[in-house]
A and B are shown apart, each in its own frame.
Chain A
Amino acid sequence: QKEVEQDPGPLSVPEGAIVSLNCTYSNSAFQYFMWYRQYSRKGPELLMYTYSSGNKEDGRFTAQVDKSSKYISLFIRDSQPSDSATYLCAMSPTNTNAGKSTFGDGTTLTVKP
């Protein structure tokens, strides 16, 4: 079993749709949860970062963590064509630095105008 499983996609939605991106994990030591956006041939760009269960909102993005179920989600409201990218979940344990993260395989999202 992979440590981090990410819904594979690809995902194609119309502009304005609500998008849900999901990851599950098996390592209960993971305490820091991150979502990155990666455009083609570019480096990952950090979108959201949280270390507690519950919801964290930033503009059109909401990160949700459920540690009891080992499940994290990223919701994008009012999706835009510029949101088209690959989204990566990443996580790391407590007491080690968050730079040593384990990534999901990524979900490629296309938002059609």
Chain B
Amino acid sequence: EPEVTQTPSHQVTQMGQEVILRCVPISNHLYFYWYRQILGQKVEFLVSFYNNEISEKSEIFDDQFSVERPDGSNFTLKIRSTKLEDSAMYFCASSEYQGTEAFFGQGTRLTVV
């Protein structure tokens, strides 16, 4: 069964460092998303991406964040200068069409120390 894969599963980084979280969406999907979930809190939408550009983003997704589809298969989330409060699970998701359900990856646990 096709699935969204994310790497690494756990990333520890020092405050102020840049991190790149990687995702491989389901191959025939056209829409890609990043969500985060701070420990014990709700899943929060960060950004959606379609046709090589951001289609929507939340207030959380400020200038410290960027997304990229560097090739035909990967979808990345970059945090330029990490803060302690960026510590969370980051989930990538993809959907086939606009208005269809999104399938989530297993997540990357980011710990900023």
Task: Tell which of B50, B56, B101, B107 has the most Cβ of chain A within 10 Å.
Answer: B101
Q: Is the CB of A99 within 8 A of B109?
A: no
What total of A-B pairs shows CB separation below 8 Å?
A: 70
Closest to A46 in B: B101
A97 x B98 contact (CB < 8 A): yes
Q: Determine if B45 and A46 form an interchain contact, defined as CB atoms under 8 angstroms apart.
A: no
Residues of A within 8 A of B (CB): 32, 34, 36, 41-46, 49, 88, 90, 94-106
Most chain A beta carbons < 10 A, residue from B44, B94, B98, B99: B99
A97/B43 contact (C-beta < 8 A), A42-B106, A44-B104 known: no
- Point out the residue from A49, A88, A90, A97 that lies within 8 Å of B48, measured CB to CB: A97
Q: Complex: how many Å from CA A48 to CA B77? A: 28
Q: Nearest 10 A-B pairs (CB), nearest first? A: A43-B104, A99-B102, A99-B33, A103-B43, A97-B98, A49-B101, A105-B42, A43-B106, A44-B104, A43-B107
Residues of B within 8 A of A41 (CB): 89, 107, 109
Residue of A nearest to B32 (CB): A99
Contacts of B89 in A (CB 8 A): 41
Closest residue of chain A to B103 (Cβ to Cβ) is A46
Contact B102 A98 (CB under 8 A): yes
* A42-B42 CB under 8 A given contacts A49-B101, A101-B102: no
Q: Is the CB of B101 within 8 A of A98?
A: yes
Interface of A: prevailing SS:
loop
Looking at the assembled complex, report how far the CB atom of A9 sits from the nearest CB atom of chain B, in whole angstroms: 13
- The proximity string for B residues 70-113 relative to A, scoring 1 for CB distances below 8 Å and 0 otherwise, is 00000000000000000001010111001111111111010000
Which residues of the other chain, B, contact A103 by a CB distance below 8 angstroms? 42-44
Q: A41-B89, A43-B106, A44-B91 are in contact. Are A100 and B43 (CB under 8 A)?
A: no
Contact B45 A98 (CB under 8 A): no
- How many angstroms from the CA of A49 to the CA of B4 in the assembled complex? 19
Q: How far is the CA of A86 from the CA of B18 in the complex (A)?
A: 32
